[in-house]
Amino acid sequence: MAAGVAAWLPFARAAAIGWMPVANCPMPMARRDHSKKQDELIILNVSGRRFQTWKTTLDRYPDTLLGSTEKEFFYNEETKEYFFDRDPDAFRSVLNFYRTGKLHYPRYECISAYDEELAFFGIIPEIIGDCCYEEYKDRKRENAERLMDDQDENKDIKLPNMNFRETMWRAFENPHTSTMALVFYYVTGFFIAISVITNVVETVPCGSTPNQKDMPCGERYTVAFFCMDTACVMIFTVEYLMRLFAAPSRYRFMRSVMSIIDVVAILPYYIGLVMTNNEDVSGAFVTLRVFRVFRIFKFSRHSQGLRILGYTLKSCASELGFLLFSLTMAIIIFATVMFYAEKGSSSSKFTSIPASFWYTIVTMTTLGYGDMVPKTIAGKIFGSICSLSGVLVIALPVPVIVSNFSRIYHQNQRADKRRAQKKARLSRIRIAKMGSSNAYLQSKRNGLFNELLDLTGTEGEEQHRNKTTSLLESQHHHLLHCLEKTTAHEFVDEQMYELNCTENALQSFLSRSPSLSSHEGFTGTCCSQRSRKSIPLPNSSMSTTHTHMQSQGLQELSAIDIQCVEQPIHGTSRSSLNLKLDETSQLNNRGQQIITAIISLPSPPPVTSDGCGHGPPNPPATISTTTSLNVVKVSAL
């Protein structure tokens, strides 16, 4: 029952009096309405804007927040009103729903914000009225697509437990995931180009020796071209086999368009190898060479534009079909007409209707070669009608195809833009997240630092430190601290943790010197240990810059283009780090240490062992080689 007509229920009950005389048995007792108080006005204060309505209006929908006792949680005793800290604009739609029984979706409202409001007030969006339902569904779909895009992006993050096969497949599908894949991508592209150019140049007549007529280069330098062809086919075969091996579903891969193109590209060569010098089939063999031109389609893996074009043609299949059909109809009609019109004239080229097809096509597409022209007057009249109608017939479906292409292209553009922005956005989010977790670690060190200060008695820095933490922050940190104490473990950040893992692995693998073993806890404990060990100030300033460098290092690592932090190498040993007061040098050292540590994770162990232990012996080498990993930008088209 629609709540809108709830107002008429008393009337319907009163009208039931008409049944009474007809009834043979007594009526059931009605429930006495104990809450006989008058209908009261309820004040709903939504972020300062006051809405007022009757209580019965809200009671119409008892399974929502406002209609149930849930709103009592928001009741403010002093002001005798219900206060909601929500968006007043969105609340308008919610309240109108109670009043009119219809839920409307305002166009200016963001879809996710609106959904959240509805969820808060306990209203299911499916009851949106018909007038606004289309709009709502469209916006919801767009939003879902955007979220799916985001999810696809997340999948690019390297999953640690992929086996070799899956890694290879990912490398093939997304060349920018690893250097090897990129190299492979460019090499195959290069060889496709080479192969296509070879095929083309093969037929060019070159070398005019006086005694022989011009022969195409292919016949002149047979061996060279054969070698080139072999090389290309080798590469393509290897590539195809590797893709086949890596594909998650081999059957589906073999049926895909790209793999068919691959096969067609390399098959003629093998067939040519197999059948040699057999005069009958060599003619067919020559024809097969035509299929070598299909290699150019392999470029569609390398070019997004080509893929979009192909996709457009596929999606416009119906328009293309219509175009073809209408063209065929027109061609047949006009060819027939022209044939009969020109039948009379002598030496007419219009020998049959199929022969007239050529004239019709050339005329309708406004090519007009002029090899066949009508000579009679009737033929000329019909010929002109033919060319005029040709323009119309072709001009009609073409804009549809064009608009389809444009739409798909722009969609791709938007997706690419989103992806590019997303990287920057994610890096910002990551920095913010790291910032907050680092804040705790930093405050912890500050706490220790403050302990030190108490011991050493310097005041300037202390004031600076105390200002930075608010009451909220300090309470939060206290909480985290309690947790640490409870579990007898400490919070560390990601880099440290990974470093720990590798270091622990190294520790077990190589016998370590004691100085390095203390380096294991390259965490808060590490720093705290060291700060406890060595009292002087520089250590703590080092610890603060330690965190700064971390976030900075992360910033650098997460951006697409990475500048290598070229630090001058200080030939400092670990002990000397404790003595140096110069902050920048501390920064550099720590920075180098950290960067070394972080970047050298994927590289072989020995470097790490050197890098972490004493000063920074060979970091620049590792830094320079591995930054190339990160400087990647794949162009779209």
Partner 1 sequence: MGAVVGTLTMQTRQRRPSRDKIDDELELSIVCHRPEGLEQLEAQTNFSKKELQVLYRGFKNECPCGAVNEETFKQIYSQFFPHGDASTYAHYLFNAFDSSQNGSIKFEDFVTALSILLRGTTTEKLQWTFNLYDINRDGYISKEEMTDIVKAIYDMMGRYTYPALKTDTLKQHVDAFFRKMDKNRDGVVTLDEFIHSCQEDENIMRSLQLFENVI
DSSP, collapsed to helix, strand or coil, labels residue 620 as helix
Identify the three-state secondary structure at position 54: strand
Interaction of residue 251 with partner 1, rule CB under 8 A: no
Are the C-beta atoms of residues 408 and 312 closer than 8 Å to each other? yes
Considering only residues 93 to 112 of the shown chain, the ones binding partner 1 according to CB under 8 A are: 99
Decide if residue 25 touches partner 1 (CB under 8 A): yes
Place of tokens 């206060």: 83
Beta bridge partners, 54, equal 41
Nearest CA-CA partner of 365 in 349, 397, 387, 333: 387
* Comparison of 38 and 211: residue with beta carbon closer to partner 1: 38
Question: For residues 27 and 471, which CB has a smaller minimum distance to partner 1 in the complex?
Answer: 27
Least distance from partner 1 to the Cβ atom of residue 100, Å: 8
Residue type, 460: G
Asked whether position 130 contacts partner 1 by CB under 8 A, the answer is no
Task: For residue 592, count other CB atoms closer than 10 A to its CB.
Answer: 23
From 17-25, 66-74, 232-240, 464-472, span contacting partner 1 (CB under 8 A): 17-25
**Does 26 sit near partner 1 (CB under 8 A)?**
yes
Q: Measured from the CB atom, is 5 or 234 closer to partner 1?
A: 5
Question: Mind giving me the DSSP string for 154-176?
Answer: HHTSPPTT--HHHHHHHHHH-GG
Q: Is 9 in the site for partner 1 (CB under 8 A)?
A: yes
Cα–Cα distance measured from residue 448 to residue 432, given in angstroms and rounded to the nearest whole number: 24
Per CB under 8 A, the list member of 7, 273, 559, 560 interacting with partner 1 is 7
Least spacing, CB of residue 342 vs partner 1, in Å? 28
Other CB atoms within a 10 A radius of the CB of residue 91 amount to 20
- 3-state SS assignment for residue 202: helix
Single out the residue of 35, 38, 154, 276 in contact with partner 1 (rule: CB under 8 A). Answer: 38
CB atoms within 10 A of CB 273: 10
How far apart, in whole angstroms, are the C-alpha atoms of residue 112 and residue 558? 28
Nearer to partner 1, 32 or 633 (CB): 32
Phi, psi of 206 (to 5 degrees): -140, 160
Give the one residue of 19, 73, 108, 164 binding partner 1; rule: CB under 8 A.
19
CB of 91 to partner 1, least distance (A): 20
Contact flag: residue 20 with partner 1 (CB under 8 A)? yes
Beta strands 215-216 and 205-206, pairing class: antiparallel
Q: Is 41 in the site for partner 1 (CB under 8 A)?
A: no
Segment near partner 1 (CB under 8 A); pick from 33-41, 82-90, 376-384, 432-440 = 33-41
Give min distance, CB of 27 to partner 1, in A. Answer: 4
Stretch that binds partner 1, among 8-16, 311-319, 400-408, 629-637 (CB under 8 A): 8-16
Cβ pair 522, 496 in contact under 8 A: yes
Query: Could you say whether residue 11 binds partner 1 (CB under 8 A)?
Result: yes
Closest-CA residue to 635 (of 220, 305, 409, 362): 305
Q: How many chain residues bind partner 1 (CB under 8 A)?
A: 34
In the complex, least distance from residue 123 CB atom to partner 1, rounded to whole angstroms: 19
Q: Do strands 81-84 and 41-46 pair parallel, antiparallel, or not at all (unpaired)?
A: parallel
- The pair of three-digit structure tokens given for residue 410, joined into one six-digit string: 């722009």
Toward partner 1, which CB reaches closer, 16 or 324? 16
Shortest distance (Å) from residue 101 CB to partner 1: 9
Residues in contact with 42: Cβ distance below 8 Å, sequence separation at least 6, in sequence order: 52, 53, 54, 55, 58, 81, 82
Q: Does 21 bind partner 1 (CB under 8 A)?
A: yes
The window from 16-24, 208-216, 442-450, 493-501 that contacts partner 1 (CB under 8 A) reads 16-24
Q: By the criterion CB under 8 A, which residues form the site for partner 1?
A: 1-2, 4-5, 7-27, 29-30, 32-33, 36, 38-39, 54, 99
